[in-house]
Amino acid sequence: MPESVVIIGAGQAGAQAVQSLRAEGFDGPITMVGDEAYPPYQRPPLSKAYLLGTFERPRLFLKADSYYAETGCELLLGTSAKAIHRAERTVELSDGRKLAYDKLLLTTGARVRKLKCPGADLPGIHYLKTIADVDGLQEAFQPGKRIAIVGGGYIGLEVAAVGAKRGLDVTVFEAMDRLMARAVSPQLSSFYAAEHEKAGVKLKLRTGVEAFEGNGKVERIIAGGQRYDTDIVLVGIGVVPCDELATHAGLASEDGIVVDQNARTGDPHIWAAGDCTRHVGREGHSLRLECVQNAIDQAKHAALAMVGKHKTYSEVPWFWSDQYDLKLQIAGLARPSDRLVLRGDPASRKFAVFHLRDGAVAAVEAVNAAPEYLMGKKWVGEGKKIAPQMLADTSVPMKQMA
């Protein structure tokens, strides 16, 4: 009998694992269990073009409907895994069934962090993670409506940009003193703050949310000691890894299921990939990444390891965000102590910020600047040293510097 693989979580990493297992020649049975109603889909458009209405639902799906049957992957949708019994190598499902596995892959992703304050359960307070969430938001997300967005991170700002474009009256409440503070340099935060304000978005920085009020639905948000009337609220304050299945089965989790460089957990029969994991990154630090790149690359490494082809995971992390007509692309992981080098003029809406560490390119943030992003990403991988003056000199093309 060929060995069997069970994948828990039908998302970005799960779909990639199916594809990679087959590409690597695995010909045993694969079963993928997903608690959503849909086969694996991409989430990035949810807060961008899909919310805007310019991206059709069928395009969200990562594979054609026929793909799973054609590749011999049984999809169990609308079904959640309730427990892993490691000794007998089975997974217990919500419908009472038990699935036996030889190899198990956890791709359970992350769930939205919920606000815990008075009124946080009022109808009209939305989160954005799934197709169902966008569907739930769409009806109220109409021109002229007031939307209060809690959280000035990627999701909140992407929704703010779409809201402004669609003619909503948008206010963003952010507890920190700048936008996307966890993810980008102060230069980028200032640039994006100006762009949002130009589009009519009101920004309330250093303004933590204290409560919501309303009669049967949300009508007001109380933040920074003031009351603001609103029609809808969208909360985007981060995610927490779905690691309960793993921890209940006795696997280690430290705010993310702990995996090694081959995406394997402490159990030789169990791997994990994507948002639910924590691993030691290429710079030797423990990381939990929430991005498509990590979901894809870690799933590939898990699939390789499952078929006995071990390859150390040390990819350069990369990420993107679309706000208005601005494409932000980031590669590498910045640190506050990095030396920053600006290339290009932010006023031209096409520029990059390079992060140098010990003279080498450690990260790049590029706005509408694909060559800087692509070359920067390569340099991060190589640890390339470049003189800051040359990097800042736009008269020297990127290609020439390479």
Ligand X SMILES: Cc1cc2nc3c(=O)[nH]c(=O)nc-3n(C[C@H](O)[C@H](O)[C@H](O)COP(=O)(O)OP(=O)(O)OC[C@H]3O[C@@H](n4cnc5c(N)ncnc54)[C@H](O)[C@@H]3O)c2cc1C
Q: Which residues bind ligand X (CB under 6 A)?
A: 8-14, 33-36, 43-44, 46-47, 80-81, 107-109, 128-129, 155, 242, 245, 274-276, 290-293, 295, 319-321
Cβ-based nearer residue to ligand X, 8 or 341? 8
83 Cβ contact list (under 8 Å, min separation 6):
91, 92, 245, 248, 249
Shortest reach from residue 130's CB to ligand X, in Å: 7
In this structure, what are the phi and psi dihedrals at residue 298, rounded to the nearest 5 degrees? -70, -35
Amino acid at 306: M
Cβ-based nearer residue to ligand X, 53 or 118? 53
Cβ-based nearer residue to ligand X, 13 or 352? 13
Shortest reach from residue 1's CB to ligand X, in Å: 25
Q: What is the DSSP string of 341-355?
A: EEES-GGGT-EEEEE
Burial class (CB in 10 A: 0-12, 13-18, 19+), 208: middle
Q: Which of 197, 205, 211, 230 is nearest to 152 (CA)?
A: 205
Cβ-based nearer residue to ligand X, 164 or 330? 330
Shortest reach from residue 116's CB to ligand X, in Å: 20
Cβ-based nearer residue to ligand X, 260 or 290? 290
Give the nearest residue (CB) to ligand X.
11
Question: How far is C-alpha 313 from the chain's CA centre?
Answer: 19
Shortest reach from residue 330's CB to ligand X, in Å: 9
Shortest reach from residue 364's CB to ligand X, in Å: 15
Cβ-based nearer residue to ligand X, 95 or 177? 95
Cβ-based nearer residue to ligand X, 43 or 282? 43
Shortest reach from residue 272's CB to ligand X, in Å: 9
Shortest reach from residue 145's CB to ligand X, in Å: 20
How far is residue 4 from each of residues 12, 88, 105, 265, 328, measured CA to CA in Å? 21, 14, 11, 18, 41
In this structure, what are the phi and psi dihedrals at residue 264, rounded to the nearest 5 degrees? -95, 140
H or E element at residue 215: none
Token digits of residue 314: 């040390």
Cβ-based nearer residue to ligand X, 207 or 298? 298
179 Cβ contact list (under 8 Å, min separation 6):
152, 153, 157, 172, 189, 192, 193, 196, 203, 205
8 close to 109: Cβ distance less than 8 angstroms: no
Shortest reach from residue 289's CB to ligand X, in Å: 8
Residue carrying structure tokens 């200032």 = 190
